[in-house]
Structure 1
Amino acid sequence: MGYTVWAAAWVAWNVFIICVYLEVGGLSEDSELLTFSLSRHRSWWREHGPGCVHKELAAGAPVPGAGCALEHGYVEALHSALQILVALVGFVCACYVLSVCTEEDSCLRK
């Protein structure tokens, strides 16, 4: 039962992440919603996305997003969509196990 609640919350969180990175409904990755104003958020995919070239400035800081095949926001959205798919499969499996256990009462016996 706990897993079904967690999976539903995980789906909701990943839908929120998709909306932030695709800037749906006035949300933006530049807002402080993801970090609760506690830190400066930077997407890992900005520098390590598919096809990104690691160029460094004279100060040794990497240039974010140089030559990436996909923008980091799209990669974040695809990553969250995959997380939603996995959570939905787990949610369906958990609901099936719950229905079998409640019908047969065999899961509740010790």
Structure 2
Amino acid sequence: RGLLAARSPLLALLLHLIAALERQIFDFLGYQWVPILANFLHIMAVILGIFGTIQYRSKYLIMYAVWLVLWVGWNAFIICFYLEVGHLSQDRDFIMTFNTSLHRSWWMENGPGCLVTPVMNSNLAPEDHHVITVTGCLLDYQYIEVVSSAMQIFLALFGFVYACYVSKVFLEEEDSFDFIGGFDSYGYQAPQKTSHLQLQPLYT
């Protein structure tokens, strides 16, 4: 029963995987290479957690739980970055793109209600880039990114509790499992040697 109950939240892990894939797609569209790398590692960790659940591998679940701690820290950094907490600034392109391109969230131009207007012949645009103005957004892109990261943190916290619980159940099941005909100190007894007495006739 313990193993069956441990597998029941597997659907939540699949939801976690879908959320990670969705975020990876939008980061690809925005050419944000650092988040793309982090998302890739996260997707691998979620797959490892799913595999550990299906195959009863507690070590895999422990590795998944350790990664979730790092994942929460990364998403907390993303929230601080978009809200420009402290000395963080969205103008520092190298933080998200390894300084290979301009940092731009896909939601900046494609958010709900956003109207994009290109600015022609602008001297502010670097080479091979253009300047745009975005107006009418119902929700600014930075808040969409913050909500996305907050959802990832929520899923990660749930996944961490789940991984700890399931790995504990698996370890308890492994400790209590007794192989039939095994060689434990209580269930196995070595065969006893029987002595044979030689009978001799008695003479009176």
Question: TM-score, normalization: structure 2?
Answer: 0.46
The reply on whether 1:53 has 2:115 as its aligned counterpart is yes
In structure 2, the partner of 1:79 is 148
In structure 1, the partner of 2:65 is 4
The Cα offsets for residues 46-78 of structure 1, whole Å up to 9 and x where unpaired, read as: 01112223445669x794532101111111111
Residues 31-40 or 9-18, more deviating: 31-40
Q: In structure 2, give the amino acid aligned to 1:47.
A: E
Given that residues 119 and 133 in structure 2 are in contact (C-alpha distance below 8 angstroms), is that contact kept between their aligned partners in structure 1? Answer: no
Residues 91-100 or 64-73, more deviating: 64-73
Unaligned runs of 5+ in 2: 1-61, 122-129, 176-204
Query: Secondary structure of the equivalent of 2:96?
Result: coil
Query: Secondary structure of the equivalent of 1:23?
Result: coil
- Aligned residue runs from structure 1 range 11-26, under 5 A: 11-26=72-87
Shift of 1:105: 1.8
Given that residues 17 and 77 in structure 1 are in contact (C-alpha distance below 8 angstroms), is that contact kept between their aligned partners in structure 2? Answer: yes
User: Within 2, Cα distance between the matches of 1:67 and 1:35?
Assistant: 27
Q: Decide which structure has greater strand share.
A: 2
The reply on whether 1:39 has 2:101 as its aligned counterpart is yes
The Cα offsets for residues 20-61 of structure 1, whole Å up to 9 and x where unpaired, read as: 0001121111112222322211101101112223445669x7
RMSD: 2.3
Unaligned runs of 5+ in 1: none
Structure number with larger C-alpha Rg: 2
Identical counterparts, % of pairs: 50
Give aligned pairs, total: 106
Q: In structure 1, give the amino acid aligned to 2:149.
A: S
User: Within 2, Cα distance between the matches of 1:84 and 1:94?
Assistant: 15
Query: Secondary structure of the equivalent of 1:105?
Result: helix
Given that residues 107 and 144 in structure 2 are in contact (C-alpha distance below 8 angstroms), is that contact kept between their aligned partners in structure 1? Answer: yes
User: Within 1, Cα distance between the matches of 2:63 and 2:158?
Assistant: 15
